[in-house]
Amino acid sequence: MSALDDLLHARTGPMTSELVLHPGQFGLGRVPARLAPAGTAKSICGFCSTGCSLNIHLNAAGEAINLTPNREYPVNLGMACPKGWEALTPLAASDRVTTPLLRDANGVLQPVDWARALTVFCERMKGVQSKYGKAAVAALSTGQIVTEEMALLGALTKFGMGIADLDSNTRQCMATSHVAYKQSFGFDAPPFTYADFEESDVLVFVGANPCIAHPIMWQRVMRNQRNPAIIVIDPRRTETAMAATLHLPAYPKSDLTLLYGIARELLARDALDHAFIEQNTTGFTAFREFVQDFAPERVLSETGLSRADYMRTIDLIARPGARVSYWWTMGVNQSHQATRTAQALINLALMTGQFGRPGTGANSITGQCNAMGSRLFGNASSLLGGYDFANAAHRTHVAGILGVEESLIPTQPSRAYDRILDSVDTGEIRALWIIATNTAHSWINQGKFSQLRDKLDFLVVQDMYATTETAQQADLVLPAAGWGEKDGFFINSERRLGAARKVARAPGVALSDFAIFKLVAEAWGCGAMFEQWSSPAAAFQILKKLSSGQPCDFSGIRDHDHIELSGGIQWPFSEADATKSGTPVIERRLFADGKFFTPDQRARFHFDAPVPLPEPPDEAYPLLLNTGRGSSAQWHTGSRTNKSAVLLKLSPNQPWIELNPTDASKCRVEAGQRVTVRSRRGETTAIVVVTPIVQPGQVFMPMHFAEVNVLTFPAYDPHSRQPAYKACAVQVVP
């Protein structure tokens, strides 16, 4: 009977075996038997700034075959977002660039070897420099590569090649936080640790949607056992707004007015920490005067909020003894008055003394995996290690550590991304080297970039893919190894250094960015200057020295392994700290003593009157376009996330536009319809999504599609030069 049953019911066989699970060992649970690891390596994810640790499953040859989030890491506690789970997939994409590519006489990119590529690179770049001056070459870098690479690039371009202007795509996401912190605290120092999500009584999120943009940070919010009030300030009813205690759908860019108004009410109620203000800040008296202009009537009329919601917000924030933390992301940073908005949040925390204790702080949630590394070691706005180009003593100090001629160090910072592109327009800059970023897709008012391309004598793009919108326009493409194919460290949002590991071979003759920079240095003729940068591990030792004595001092960290074994290490961790305590405490926050990094150790109140929207809606363009993250599965311009079939399943694969039902009927368009979206800069098409989560008069488009930045208006924050992606006027027509 059993034999007959077996014949009739094939309960086993090759297809059943495909899905058999085996114990994974190495602390893993069950894993697919055919992907059973021979070992694991721990690596920090290379997408966003959360800095999750991934356990990479390796075969016997040391090649990555699968991954699971690391359960022991203090950041992610065994979790990852879909991008993290799929982190290995983009490495195997069929469109990886495997050799250098040079555009031939017919305009076609043709494979060449490294020797030829380097010769062309140097000849053309030097040709431009000898004809138009050294400053006619500029570079645009990224927040996506490891810190050792950023620093080497910064040193190579500025000290070796004599380039004046080097900026990076962190200008598009974090420049505002950098400037805001620097002005207010005296150093770019996010004060928090992720435990603060769990320790707060009131969490105020402004222009942040962690549910899908930083899901692992939201995990920490959900672990909060204090029954916290969650206030979300965002024009849209986002996933995070849905999960909040209170959602304030303030009119786009009216957040500055709202925050000044809140400050005024806190003053009126005397819900202040007078001792903190007295001992640790300067500029409060002027601020007190300034906010008197922001009476509730004005705030309510400019923000469109209800009085009840406004007053409830103040009740929650002013509750005596409550630990209040303020969190912001791109909704604040990408604005025409971004820096002052970030500082308005800092001011609220300062006047209420919400610093240095668990669950407090004015906290910038960072964007890219290594935006924080770039802010300290990009060598763009500040000299390597957070120093000042303009300060002679700083130049001497850095020159001493690096063993470079002091005269080679520029005496002023690089100009910002937008100024670099403007200089291409005026013909001042003639050659551009773009590294691991996709300018032709992501830059605001993107149509302009294509016109600029024709004004460049030479465009080099260094990337994992030759298929990005930018690489497609290059004269020379340098094939780069990606995350997972190289070693180095990232710094996450909470100042935690984490090591990324090489667990896969790069395809063809692609090389790590570090190796490419070394080669360029050698071919350029300045190889000797970077002799001590022999490997990422050696570079780490240089960066430690640069950090020493700075607020970001991490000279107490031995090496990459030390970082990994400690579960990541937050700066500061100086040599003295290491000698004193040995192992670093896992979760640490800044300013427990109320001492800031300004010369007088006092934080500053910075404020300015709100400025009207650069391009408000009008009769011709009646809708205000907001852009932002579309889903947790999409990363920036999609050059990596679009390579994963699973991630592609998790979000629409064509651009969409969210309209309120009122506007849908006004524009005579229906859900699912393809419509034209037009601004004064250009037009594109998108599929209509009708939803009340956007307010009437406002529309939303995800930033991951190349079409969106055809529309955006090129306005910039005056302090951070960060583009204001989130507010421009458009019309929608069937």
Tell me which residues in 6-35 interact with another protein (CB under 8 A).
Answer: 8-16, 18-21, 26-27, 29-32, 34-35
Sheet with strand 39-44: strands edge to edge: 39-44, 53-58, 64-69
User: What is the DSSP secondary structure assignment for residue 105, as one 8-state letter?
Assistant: T
- CB nearer to another protein: give 23 or 400: 23
Look at residues 330, 442, 369, 366 and name the one whose alpha carbon lies nearest to residue 144: 369
HSE of 477, CA atoms in CB hemisphere, 13 A = 30
Residue selected from 46, 51, 82, 252 as contacting another protein according to rule CB under 8 A: 82
Omega before residue 622 within 30° of 0, cis:
no
Q: Are 71 and 99 in contact (CB under 8 A)?
A: no
Q: x/- binding map, residues 557-576, to another protein, per CB under 8 A?
A: ----x--xx-----------
The residue range among 112-120, 319-327, 396-404, 468-476 that interacts with another protein, by the rule CB under 8 A, is 112-120
Tell me: does residue 39 bind another protein (CB under 8 A). yes
For the bound state, the minimum distance from the C-beta of residue 390 to another protein, rounded and expressed in Å, comes to 35
> Directed axis angle between helix 296-303 and helix 255-268, to 10°?
160
- CB nearer to another protein: give 123 or 670: 670
- CB nearer to another protein: give 11 or 580: 11
The residue range among 53-61, 145-153, 411-419, 466-474 that interacts with another protein, by the rule CB under 8 A, is 53-61
Beta strands (DSSP E) in 521-660 are 569-570, 603-604, 623-628, 656-659
Tell me: does residue 650 bind another protein (CB under 8 A). yes
Residue selected from 329, 651, 698, 720 as contacting another protein according to rule CB under 8 A: 651
Q: Which residues pair with 43 in a beta bridge?
A: 54
Interaction residues for another protein, span 255-314 (CB under 8 A): none
Q: Are 149 and 488 in contact (CB under 8 A)?
A: yes
User: What is the DSSP secondary structure assignment for residue 45, as one 8-state letter?
Assistant: -
CA diameter of the chain: 92
Tell me: does residue 1 bind another protein (CB under 8 A). no
- CB nearer to another protein: give 22 or 274: 22
Q: Are 166 and 138 in contact (CB under 8 A)?
A: yes
Q: Which amino acid is at 281?
A: T
Tell me: does residue 588 bind another protein (CB under 8 A). no
Distance CA 700, CA 692 (A): 11
Report residue 378 as tokens. 């990009």
Interaction residues for another protein, span 113-172 (CB under 8 A): 114-115, 118
- CB nearer to another protein: give 173 or 503: 503
Interaction residues for another protein, span 656-685 (CB under 8 A): 660, 662, 665, 670-672
Tell me: does residue 226 bind another protein (CB under 8 A). no
Positive or negative CA dihedral for 698, 48, 177, 149? negative
Q: Are 22 and 33 in contact (CB under 8 A)?
A: yes
Residue selected from 47, 85, 449, 483 as contacting another protein according to rule CB under 8 A: 85
For 31, list phi and psi in degrees, rounded to 5: -130, 165
For 266, list phi and psi in degrees, rounded to 5: -65, -40
Interaction residues for another protein, span 601-640 (CB under 8 A): 631-633
Interaction residues for another protein, span 56-75 (CB under 8 A): 58-63, 66-69, 71-72
Interaction residues for another protein, span 424-483 (CB under 8 A): 481
Q: Which amino acid is at 577?
A: D
Residue selected from 49, 99, 169, 240 as contacting another protein according to rule CB under 8 A: 240
For the bound state, the minimum distance from the C-beta of residue 463 to another protein, rounded and expressed in Å, comes to 16
For the bound state, the minimum distance from the C-beta of residue 80 to another protein, rounded and expressed in Å, comes to 6
- CB nearer to another protein: give 354 or 641: 641
Tell me: does residue 81 bind another protein (CB under 8 A). yes
